[in-house]
Structure formats: structure tokens, C-alpha cells
């Protein structure tokens, strides 16, 4: 199971580096199945911090600070509610919640009409608050940010760079709220190395792999993990 989770972590990190998004979206299914909904999300959020630490230096020059700070501020204010939600829900309900967030996240690209309403400072505050809540509860903050980028006509390069800073801020606060993972240190070390290695590998792949192909692989992996997680939640409810 560790080997499969490690492989998923590498794939997620490569896709994160190529597309600027989707680390937790790709990883959430396998890691929740391996470690459970509470510990799995805690590990995913922890690994996302490592991914952002390695991604931020290369993106720093392109960060759009006005938009970034509004997204950060709203998200950090909403994060405690997300962490509280994940702490009080029973395991089956949490599995359904994370699975539902995964479906919404994967369907966000079809909500263009909604996304176009997320503009300017109000849009940043709304999208940031939703993203912060989702990051602390499930790690799935990327689609809310992407919807704001679409609505506000945010250039892809500036958005992808700024998102790394936002993810890092959300991740640090989420780790502080949720606590560190309780998994064996050796397993965390293996997954951490896979995350860092995947980001470095993604830097090479970004020059060779078309973004469209990376997105298709991301959607395939993310849908598979989300559907299996919902199946597990349903089986748990019926048992």
C-alpha cells in the first residue's frame, strides 16, 4: 500500500508542477483509502506544504501579490471552520463530504457561468473563503481558486505562480489546525521524498509534456480515486 501511495504522490507532484494545480486532487483518493479520511487528509495537506515549498522559489517572480493577499486573507479566516468540520464528522460522513468535494472540484470546469461572477475583490474574498475552508477540511482548494482565475481573467502564468504561495499559506495554517500526521515517520519520510522528487521531475516534464495531456491524466486519476472513495463510503454506510 505504501508503494502505491508513493507512486500516486509522485504522479500528483509531477502534475502539480506541470499544471500549477491538482496535487491533492490527484492524491486524495489513494491516500484516504490507505490512511482513512482524517489521517489521509492530514497527510495530504502536509505533503502539499512540501510541494509548495519546492514550487514557490521558481514561481516567485510571477506572483500577483494584490490578488494573492486577498485570497490568502479570506482563506485563512475560513480555515478554522473547515478543520472543525473534519474533526466533528464521523468517518463515513467525512468520506462522503470529501468525495462530494472531489466531484464538485472535478466538475468546476463546467461552471463557467458561475465562475464569471467571481471578479475583483468580492470574488477574491468569496473564492478565497471557500478555498480556505476546503483546504483545511479536505485539501481540495485548487478548483475554487481556478474558478476565480477564470472569472477575473487572470493570466495563467501569473495565476499558477500565485497559487503556489496561496497553497503554502493555506497548508501551513491547515497543518497548524489539524496537527502533524500520526503515520510512522519512515512512511512520512518516503512520501515527503516522493513529493519533492515529483516536483523536480515535473520541472523537467513541464518542458516536454503538453499541459493538455497532463490535465487529462490528472482528471483520470482524480475521478478514479474519488469514485472509489465514494464506493467505500457507501459500503461503510450499508455494512
- Measured CA to CA, the distance from residue 147 to residue 99 in angstroms comes to 19
**pLDDT reported for residue 113:** 54
**pLDDT reported for residue 166:** 94
* 152: containing domain: 2-238
DSSP 120-173: HHHHHHHHHHHHHHHHHHTS--HHHHHHHHHHTT--HHHHHHHHHHHHHHHHHH
Global pTM reads: 0.84
Neighbours of 151 (CB within 10 A): 21
**pLDDT reported for residue 127:** 85
Task: pLDDT tens for the chain, 239 residues: list them.
Answer: 889 899 999 998 988 888 777 788 889 888 988 998 889 989 999 999 999 998 888 888 889 999 999 999 999 999 999 999 988 988 888 888 877 877 776 676 565 555 556 677 888 888 899 889 989 988 888 777 877 887 778 887 788 889 889 999 999 999 999 999 999 999 999 999 999 999 889 888 877 877 777 667 766 766 776 787 788 778 777 76
Q: How many helices (H) and strands (E) does the chain have?
A: 11, 0
Query: Is the Cβ–Cβ distance between 87 and 136 less than 8 Å?
Result: no
Distances (CA, A) of 64 to 45, 120, 134, 196, 213: 23, 13, 22, 24, 27
- Measured CA to CA, the distance from residue 188 to residue 47 in angstroms comes to 9
Domain count for the chain, please give it.
Answer: 1
- Measured CA to CA, the distance from residue 36 to residue 92 in angstroms comes to 10
How many Å is the Cα radius of gyration of the chain?
16
**pLDDT reported for residue 116:** 56
- Locus of grid cell 484516504: 32
Amino acid at each position: 500500500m505504501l508503494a502505491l501511495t508513493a507512486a500516486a504522490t509522485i504522479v500528483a507532484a509531477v502534475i502539480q508542477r506541470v499544471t500549477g494545480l491538482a496535487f491533492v486532487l490527484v492524491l486524495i483518493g489513494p491516500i484516504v483509502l490507505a490512511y482513512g479520511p482524517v489521517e489521509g487528509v492530514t497527510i495530504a495537506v502536509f505533503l502539499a506544504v512540501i510541494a509548495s515549498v519546492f514550487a514557490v522559489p521558481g514561481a516567485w517572480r510571477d506572483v500577483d501579490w494584490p490578488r494573492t493577499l486577498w485570497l490568502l486573507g479570506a482563506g485563512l479566516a475560513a480555515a478554522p471552520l473547515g478543520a472543525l468540520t473534519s474533526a466533528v464528522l464521523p468517518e463515513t460522513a467525512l468520506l462522503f463530504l470529501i468525495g462530494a468535494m472531489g466531484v464538485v472540484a472535478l466538475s468546476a470546469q463546467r461552471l463557467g457561468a458561475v465562475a464569471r461572477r467571481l471578479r475583483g475583490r468580492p470574488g477574491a474574498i468569496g473564492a478565497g473563503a471557500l478555498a480556505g475552508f476546503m483546504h483545511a477540511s479536505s485539501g481540495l482548494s485548487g478548483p475554487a481558486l481556478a474558478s476565480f482565475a477564470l472569472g477575473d481573467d487572470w493570466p495563467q502564468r501569473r495565476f499558477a505562480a500565485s497559487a503556489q504561495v496561496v497553497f503554502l499559506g493555506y497548508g501551513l495554517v491547515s497543518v497548524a489546525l489539524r496537527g502533524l500526521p500520526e503515520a510512522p515517520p519512515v512512511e512520512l519520510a518516503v512520501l515527503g521524498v516522493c513529493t519533492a522528487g515529483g516536483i523536480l521531475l515535473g520541472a523537467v516534464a513541464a518542458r516536454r509534456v503538453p499541459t493538455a495531456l497532463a490535465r487529462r491524466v490528472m482528471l483520470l486519476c482524480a475521478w478514479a480515486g474519488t469514485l472509489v472513495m465514494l464506493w467505500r463510503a457507501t459500503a461503510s454506510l450499508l455494512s
